Amino acid sequence: MTRRSSSPRHSVDISEEAGVRRLHFGSDWVQGAMRIARPWSLELSYTREMMAGLLLRDGADWPRRALLIGLGAGSLAKFLYRYRPACRITVVEINPQVEYVARQYFKLPDDPRRLDVRIGCGADFLLGGNDPYDYILVDGFDADGKPGPLDTLPVYLACRARLSDGGLFCANLLGRSRGYGASVRRIDEAFAGAVAVFPSCDSGNTIAFASGSQPVDIPLELLRQRASALKKETGLDLGPTIGRLQLAHPLPDSRLRIGQIPA
């Protein structure tokens, strides 16, 4: 695979309207957003769904180690930083301008002990190390909305290898793009079928979850209970996500399963 170490040349722009600040990479396409009155909340629907992994594993202290590929406006990093204080977060961002903008305009905390931002190619980082993570979230796109080397089988295999025993992988895919189906097939191959693809958001983003060595097997009722507790704790309402998931997929025995349960 071709390694990529140079920073992108596109501009990093900010717009603001109706109390919402948005991040752009030289186009109208929104790369991140923050409601100024609620800087810790998840403004974009796809970022909310990427936090659905918090419902799939038990315990308020999960995850303990998270890896985020792509910083954007810092929404995912800020949410985990605020509501999972035991979590150590590593973010890999290829463009140093994005880190500067996230700190100056989107209230990204400056706390390297808990939130370590590294400038570099996310694909290189995944392929070049072996530290395990409980939660790996891949949300990296260029100015044209393309994930580049992140959307390849070797990188998805590296993600699986970097998961801890109870780890989960999560990727933001553009469900209305031409390459969406091929992306899902690559993830499915890398994770040996232990994949659940959530229904597309209104924005067209589709969130895929995959499990490593420990499958997910959880009753819908327990999912709803955890969603209710998470909403009470953080304000994040994932109830609609569960409803859409139930409508879009057959869930035998009213359980969400990702991966095979050992006999």
Q: Are 66 and 80 in contact (CB under 8 A)?
A: yes
What integer is the mean pLDDT of 144-150?
Answer: 80
What integer is the mean pLDDT of 89-101?
Answer: 96
Structure token pair of residue 107: 């209230």
Q: From residue 172, give the alpha-carbon distance in Å to each of 25, 35, 111, 140.
A: 17, 21, 26, 8
Mean pLDDT of the chain: 91
Per-residue burial over 194-219, b if 16 or more Cβ lie within 10 Å, else e, is: bbbbbbbbeeebbbbbbbbebebebe
Delineate the domains of the chain, giving CATH numbers in brackets: 43-236 (3.40.50.150)
Q: How far is CA 28 from the centre of its chain?
A: 22
Position 3 confidence tier, pLDDT thresholds 50, 70, 90: very low
* pLDDT: which is higher, 235 or 141: 235
Q: Could you tell me the sign of the dihedral formed by the alpha carbons of 216, 219, 220, 221, in that order?
A: negative
Residue 237 annotated in active site = no
Task: Please state the pTM of the whole predicted model.
Answer: 0.93
* pLDDT: which is higher, 82 or 179: 82
Q: Are 261 and 193 in contact (CB under 8 A)?
A: no
In the set 116, 139, 188, 253, the catalytic residue is 139
Q: How far is CA 146 from the centre of its chain?
A: 16
- Least trusted range by pLDDT, from 63-77, 116-130, 150-164, 235-249: 235-249
Structure token pair of residue 119: 């400038």
Q: Could you tell me the sign of the dihedral formed by the alpha carbons of 31, 185, 216, 159, in that order?
A: negative
Residue 263 has pLDDT above 60, yes or no: no
Task: Name every residue whose Cβ is closer than 8 Å to that of residue 87 and which is 6 or more positions away in sequence.
Answer: 63, 64, 65, 66, 80, 81, 114
The H-assigned helical ranges of 57-121 are 75-83, 96-105
**Phi, psi at 166, each rounded to 5°:** -105, 20
What integer is the mean pLDDT of 168-192?
Answer: 88
Distance CA 41, CA 76 (A): 9
